[in-house]
Structure 1
């Protein structure tokens, strides 16, 4: 076996246990931080209630605030533990899609080139959907594959699903 093959085999073994952990840690931090800001802040959802997609546009702004805040506080903890990872990922994806529609999508655009200007971190009148899109892409492998071996999901499945 060559040195390269041994090295790649070692990485494969290590990745089997921990490849999803950096995604879980990153996303848990980002979403929890957002939920914590809502927990310590005041509700500003009333100003954009009309921008919320169906069915959230039918709910009161206070309920949307509470749903978003608690989802961003509880679901990241589940990601961190690797417990109910697929459900937590799906919930955070819903929160993110609603946030893109209500806050990050440009108010007006007439061409794909104009829409592409919103693929930015800062809002200069064209939207700013780059970061939430990155979150969606990072959540996708956790939704499709789960948390991996270094998780409570894996431990529970090994313990009770024999």
Structure 2
């Protein structure tokens, strides 16, 4: 019985040591893929923002549709790359939170919860997934962590 308890404690210790970094990496990679795909679609597609420009919340409704399109496209692409690298993760997450909020307000808000109806379920999921990255950072498996560790050890030199 003592051996089983010891094994359980070892397993819990391993999960505590490696679980959070792996979970944050998985979260970053999944979000990066989703936003990268959306950005690539905009990069290759036609600008449909002119049709919904009036629905954008202030101050985004003041921008020309082409600017909004480019801003959304490059925010999705650059922030997705930052999430993959775990570099400036909080900044990238914040940018995607703002972008998702604008999308929610201008495209998804009046369509209900259902994904099949282009409702607000996915934007809600993305926002909730981005919050741990905004508040907690990218985790140990990231350039943010490496830079922080490297720069703090360089200051002691």
How many residue pairs match? The answer is 149
Unmatched 5+ stretches in structure 2: none
Report the alpha carbon displacement of residue 3 of structure 1 after superposing the two structures with TM.
Answer: 2.1
Q: Which of 70, 77, 84 in structure 1 is aligned with 2:74?
A: 70
Question: Separation in 2 of the partners of 1:102 and 1:16?
Answer: 34
What residue in structure 2 maps to residue 55 of structure 1?
59
Unmatched 5+ stretches in structure 1: 108-117
Deviations 1:84-116 (A, max 9, x none): 000000000000000001100107xxxxxxxxx
TM value normalised by structure 2: 0.91
Question: Separation in 1 of the partners of 2:85 and 2:104?
Answer: 27
Question: Separation in 1 of the partners of 2:138 and 2:16?
Answer: 16
What residue in structure 2 maps to residue 128 of structure 1?
119
TM value normalised by structure 1: 0.88
Larger helix fraction of residues: 2
Extract structure 1 runs of 4+ deviating beyond 6 A: none
Q: Which of 128, 131, 139 in structure 2 is aligned with 1:148?
A: 139
Report the alpha carbon displacement of residue 17 of structure 1 after superposing the two structures with TM.
Answer: 3.2
Report the alpha carbon displacement of residue 2 of structure 1 after superposing the two structures with TM.
Answer: 2.5
